[in-house]
Chains A and B, each alone.
Chain A
Amino acid sequence: MEIQVHDIRKGFDGHAAALNGLSLTVASGELMALLGPSGSGKTTLLRVIAGLEVPDGGRILFDGADASHRSVQDRNVGFVFQHYALFRHMTVAQNVGFGLSARPRSRRPSRREIRRRAEELLALVQLQGLEHRYPAQLSGGQRQRVALARALAVEPTVLLLDEPFGALDAKVRKDLRRWLRDLHDRTGHTTVFVTHDQEEALELSDRVAIINAGRVEQVGSPPEVYLRPASAFVFGFMGASNGLPVEVRGGAAFLNGCPRPVADGIRVADGPHMVYARPHDVVLAPDDETGTGLRGIAEAVRVAPGLVRVDMAVPGLDKRLELDIPMSDAHWMSVRPGQPIHVRLTHCHVFGP
Chain B
Amino acid sequence: MRAGVVKPRWRIRKPSVLPGFGLTLGFTLTYLTLIVFIPLSGLAWHSADLGWDAFWSLALAPRTVQALRISFGAALVAAVVNAVFGAAVAWVLVRYRFPGRRLLDAAVDLPFALPTAVAGISLAALYAPNGWIGQPLADLGVRIAYTPAGIIVALVFVGLPFVVRTVQPVLQDLDREVEEAAATLGAGRARTVRSVILPALAPALLTGFTLAFARGVGEYGSVIFIAGNIPFVSEIAPLLIVIRLEEFNTAAATAIGAVMLMLSFALLLVINMIQGWNRARFGHG
Asked whether A154 lies within 8 Å of B283 as measured between CB atoms, the reply is no
Asked whether B177 lies within 8 Å of A150 as measured between CB atoms, the reply is no
Asked whether A136 lies within 8 Å of B282 as measured between CB atoms, the reply is yes
A88 to B195: give the CA distance in the assembly, Å.
11
Q: Which residues of A contact B175 (CB under 8 A)?
A: 83, 85
Known: A52-B180, A83-B177. A98 touches B283 (CB 8 A): no
A75 to B184: give the CA distance in the assembly, Å.
8
A151 to B177: give the CA distance in the assembly, Å.
14
Q: Which of B181, B183, B195 has the most CB of A within 10 A?
A: B181
Interface hit among B185-193, B226-234, B256-264, B268-276: B185-193
Q: How many residue pairs bridge A and B at CB < 8 Å?
A: 76
Interface string of A130-171 (1 = CB under 8 A from B): 000010110000000001001101100000000000000000
- CB of A74, distance to nearest CB on chain B (Å): 8
A189 to B184: give the CA distance in the assembly, Å.
16
Q: Which of B186, B188, B200, B284 has the most CB of A within 10 A?
A: B186
**Does A238 belong to the interface (CB within 8 Å)?**
no
**Does A122 belong to the interface (CB within 8 Å)?**
no
- CB of A192, distance to nearest CB on chain B (Å): 14
**Does B199 belong to the interface (CB within 8 Å)?**
yes
- With beta carbons under 8 angstroms apart, the residue of A50, A81, A102 that contacts B186 is A102
A103's nearest neighbour on chain B, judged by CB, is: B186
Q: Which residues of A contact B284 (CB under 8 A)?
A: 88, 136
Asked whether A134 lies within 8 Å of B281 as measured between CB atoms, the reply is yes
Asked whether A52 lies within 8 Å of B195 as measured between CB atoms, the reply is no
- With beta carbons under 8 angstroms apart, the residue of A76, A81, A90, A102 that contacts B177 is A81
**Does B196 belong to the interface (CB within 8 Å)?**
yes
A170 to B184: give the CA distance in the assembly, Å.
29
Q: Which of A75, A78, A102, A137 has the most CB of B within 10 A?
A: A102
Asked whether B283 lies within 8 Å of A137 as measured between CB atoms, the reply is yes
- With beta carbons under 8 angstroms apart, the residue of B186, B188, B196 that contacts A87 is B196
Q: Which residues of B contact A77 (CB under 8 A)?
A: 184
Asked whether B186 lies within 8 Å of A89 as measured between CB atoms, the reply is no
B187's nearest neighbour on chain A, judged by CB, is: A102
Chain A interface residue number, banded: 20 to 34
Chain B interface residue number, banded: 20 to 34
Asked whether B281 lies within 8 Å of A79 as measured between CB atoms, the reply is no
**Does B182 belong to the interface (CB within 8 Å)?**
yes
B178's nearest neighbour on chain A, judged by CB, is: A85
Q: Which residues of B contact A137 (CB under 8 A)?
A: 283
- CB of A117, distance to nearest CB on chain B (Å): 13
Asked whether B183 lies within 8 Å of A98 as measured between CB atoms, the reply is no
Interface string of A75-117 (1 = CB under 8 A from B): 1111101010111111000000011001100000000000000
Q: Which residues of B contact A153 (CB under 8 A)?
A: 185
A310 to B29: give the CA distance in the assembly, Å.
66
Q: Which residues of A contact B195 (CB under 8 A)?
A: 87, 98, 102
A209 to B178: give the CA distance in the assembly, Å.
28
A98 to B178: give the CA distance in the assembly, Å.
12
- CB of A47, distance to nearest CB on chain B (Å): 8
Q: Give the A-binding residues of B (Cβ under 8 A).
A: 175, 177-178, 180-188, 191, 195-196, 199-200, 202, 281-284
Q: Give the B-binding residues of A (Cβ under 8 A).
A: 50, 52, 72-73, 75-79, 81, 83, 85-90, 98-99, 102-103, 134, 136-137, 147, 150-151, 153-154
State the 6 A-B residue pairs at the shortest beta-carbon distance, nearest first: A136-B283, A99-B185, A102-B187, A85-B177, A79-B184, A85-B181
